[in-house]
């Protein structure tokens, strides 16, 4: 916690506006970074909606962590896991149908203007795998109310999405514990 004797200034932008943020790359930490934004947004009293496009078949700690943040954060796990990897048994058509529902949900949540921050977790992967179409993602960017922050995570962000974003961060893998045959650890990897 902050020392009470230190003066803390709270910045307020003269022209507040929502940002489009892309978090991409092959390294671990894209969703984790977005969840850090959720925590920061909650600290400012912002309302958050998270839509996870591809997660859903393996438990992830953020599901219960978000519940602890209360009514400020809404989480929708819409996927059936990562399409085509880790022995995921669902056919591509089923993944596509779920991702299409998630796109519709994202459009609905943005149009409602009930949120200050909307996170589309793993949408970049969904686009790469053609579970959603580029035109659909660009339509979300175009239809986003100007005051709403929109975060798109996942590997292989499309160049057109990157071009339209205000901020783009690439998470690059330098080293990962799996290279040492260390299995994924709760609270760190999921």
pTM (2 d.p.): 0.91
CB 35 within 8 A of CB 65: yes
Rounded to 10 deg, the angle between the 92-112 and 134-143 helix axes is 10
pLDDT tens, position by position, for the chain (190 residues)?
666 778 888 888 899 999 999 999 999 999 999 999 999 999 999 999 999 998 767 788 899 999 999 999 999 999 877 776 667 778 888 999 999 999 999 999 999 999 999 999 999 999 999 999 999 999 999 999 999 999 999 999 999 999 999 999 999 999 988 888 999 888 888 8
**CATH architecture, domain defined by 20-172:** 3-Layer(aba) Sandwich (3.40)
Domain boundaries, the chain: 20-172
CB 162 within 8 A of CB 168: yes
């Amino acid at each position: 916690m902050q020392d009470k004797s230190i003066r803390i200034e709270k910045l307020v932008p003269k022209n507040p506006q929502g940002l489009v943020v892309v978090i991409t790359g092959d390294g671990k930490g894209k969703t984790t970074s977005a969840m850090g934004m959720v925590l920061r947004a909650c600290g400012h009293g912002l309302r958050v909606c998270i839509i996870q496009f591809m997660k859903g078949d393996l438990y992830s700690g953020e599901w219960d962590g978000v519940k602890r943040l209360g009514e400020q954060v809404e989480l929708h796990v819409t996927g059936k896991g990562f399409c085509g990897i880790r022995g995921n048994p669902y056919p591509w058509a089923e993944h596509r149908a779920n991702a299409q529902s998630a796109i519709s949900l994202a459009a609905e949540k943005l149009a409602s203007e009930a949120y200050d921050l909307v996170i589309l977790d793993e949408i970049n992967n969904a686009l790469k795998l053609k579970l959603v179409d580029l035109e659909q993602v660009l339509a979300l960017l175009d239809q986003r109310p100007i005051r709403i922050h929109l975060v798109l995570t996942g590997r292989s962000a499309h160049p057109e999405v990157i071009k339209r974003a205000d901020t783009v961060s690439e998470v690059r893998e330098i080293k990962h514990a799996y290279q040492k045959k260390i299995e994924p650890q709760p609270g760190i990897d999921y």
